[in-house]
Structure 1
């Protein structure tokens, strides 16, 4: 039998791509560099090249790795080379913005649930993201904390251990994310109830996120965080 929202005490969240518009931030910075250089630019092409470069064997931790990624994709996009541009892309992360509905939805949900961030980003980047979202999290786990990235089950195990120390269990967690590859598939295999926020519902393909080997049908499915907050019965602030 499917669970109801009343069955959960915790909601765990992917951050980059679910709450923070990473595609918009990434493309926006590259587009700005292209405009300054007088080069034509295609955002979807850039995302496809980013995706391939981000998962090379020598990839580092995100978002420091964006400096390396720029060096890989710039020649393919006709963008100017140089370490300064790579650093500019990495530093642009500080200004990446939440999706328009993210902060309000999280504030609503935080009145009823303990919200836990689970991000493959480094701690310094998460600090900027959390601040932009209104610092709604009860706890936050980054690649720096876990030493690994989703979809590694070990990342989730760190969170399970925290929840157990807090007096809860994984049965009381709803895992919320946009990435089928990093979150929805593995959360199903680990026995979590999950919620897919389909941010690219109006666009084809997987954009900057790696495509999963197979699609996982989620327990809950919304195209926005606002849809989740509404379904959970959390009312907007008066």
Structure 2
């Protein structure tokens, strides 16, 4: 049985993919480049190529790595393999939008819970994401802060240490994320209670996110942030 919502003091969030629509941002930027080059590209095909290029041994931190990724996928998409376009893809992160339900849901949830951002993005990008979301976070941990990326347990341990300094434990955290690979599986192995936001519930495959070796059944499962916010508010009635 999953814990009661009232048992949590913190909600920790994956940001890119759960709250920020990075797939839409990448597809929109590539669509603009394609239009200029006179090339037509299927968005889902582009995401598949992105995923294959992104998760490699020589990957840089996100979203800086989008420069390298673009140069890998451009020839396969029939686009000019020029660094300037890769830099354009990287810099587009400044303008990526939150999902339609993210900002309002975070406002509602912040009335009762302390919200912690946990993102593999670098701090410069996270600052733009946080502003897009209305700056709702009580604390934030980025790849620059932790020196690593999820699903590395060390990333989560930094958050555990933070709440411990406030006299709490990981049992006081509900971890909310869309990525089975980066978040749901590892949070389960570390003994956290988790909530899967299945953003791609109406689409096939894992899009721009790497597919996990095995699926992890989450403690809670919603297809939107508003679903989580509604459930947590109803639990208080």
Normalising by structure 2, report the TM-score: 0.98
1:13 Cα shift? Answer: 0.1
Gaps of 5+ in 1: none
Deviation at 1:2, TM superposition (A): 2.3
Asked whether 1:135 is paired with 2:129, we answer: no
Q: Could you say what secondary structure the match of 2:91 adopts?
A: helix
The 3-state SS of whatever aligns with 2:233 is coil
State the distance in 1 between where 2:143 and 2:2 align: 31
Counterparts of 1:44 and 1:79, CA distance in 2: 16
Unaligned runs of 5+ in 2: none
Are the aligned partners of 2:2 and 2:220 in contact in 1 as well (CA < 8 Å)?
no
Q: Give, in angstroms, the shift of residue 234 of structure 1.
A: 6.9
**The residue matched to 1:12 in structure 2 has which SS?**
strand
Supply the RMSD in Å over aligned alpha carbons.
Answer: 1.0
Q: Partners of 2:79 and 2:133 in 1: how far apart?
A: 32
Q: How many residues align?
A: 235
Cα distance in structure 2, aligned partners of 1:186 and 1:83 = 35
Q: How does the TM-score come out when normalised to structure 1? A: 0.97
Q: Give the Å deviation of 1:168.
A: 1.2
Tell me the equivalent position of 1:175: 175
Partner of 2:66: 66
Q: Which runs of 4+ in 1 moved over 2 A?
A: none
* CA deviation profile, 1:71-124 (whole Å, cap 9, x unmatched): 000000111121110100000000000000000000000000000000000000
Structure 1 residues 155, 84: closer, same or farther in 2, change over 3 A?
same
